[in-house]
Amino acid sequence: MESPQQILEFLDRRFAAIEMPCLRNMNVDYIFSRLIAFLDDSRWMILFNSITWCPAGEGLTTLVECVGNCVNGRQGIDNDRYFITGQIRYDELLNLYNVSVRGQAIPISELDIIPHPDLFTEHEIAIAIALLENYREDLLASNNEYQVFLPEGLTEVLRLNEWHHPDWNCPPSQTESFPLIAEVLFTGNSALYKPPASPNTNWRFWFPK
């Protein structure tokens, strides 16, 4: 297995090349992300499972981004690593939003939609955030969906819903979380990971843009 320092150097290169999630992405709004780490005796992979809003693309989309020394295909996002798990469509004729998750229509009246005009103006983002309360797991890529991107023989060793994520002025090696994640990948001991004092994966940290 590579040393923790080698793992961090790899992650720094991948982040600089935009081959792992950049939560400040100007084209994609990351609404929720989950980090899952896998390993065996010599291989490791970090998989980011993210619910996103992409107004210029497919809208409400789940991205699976893979980084590690055994990735099949590209580092980060590849052509087949995204899923349309929900839809938010505005009907101009009826002046209403049609919302669905996994093909199930969601009455917009049941969502606790909170506008944040100081952070963003798009109503669709507020709807996507409201969906997290009851439909987060449905919107994320399922175990069966993301397993196809994992080489055989890898075992899950760590799963996080909050961590300290890198930004342009703070690469992975300088965050609170990724040096500890590298230690877990090196040793296989998940107890070495400690929650950061300042997690920043909540969508609020990345608005306005």
DSSP symbols for 160-176: ES-----BTTB-GGGSS
Report how far residue 164's alpha carbon sits from residue 58's, in angstroms, rounded to the nearest whole number. 28
| pLDDT class of 72 with cuts at 50, 70, 90 | very high
Residue 87: the pLDDT is 94
Q: Is residue 49's pLDDT more than 90?
A: yes
In the structure encoding, which two tokens stand for residue 196, read together?
């950061």
Residue 203: the pLDDT is 97
52 contacts: CB under 8 Å, gap ≥ 6: 28, 29, 30, 31, 60, 61, 62, 63
Q: Is residue 47's pLDDT more than 80?
A: yes
Q: Is residue 150's pLDDT more than 80?
A: yes
Alpha-carbon torsion angle 140, 160, 179, 17, nearest 10? 10
| pLDDT class of 54 with cuts at 50, 70, 90 | confident
When the pLDDT of each residue in the chain is averaged and rounded to a whole number, the result is 95
Q: To the nearest whole percent, how much of the chain has pLDDT over 70?
A: 100
65 sits in which H/E element? strand 59-68
| pLDDT class of 209 with cuts at 50, 70, 90 | confident
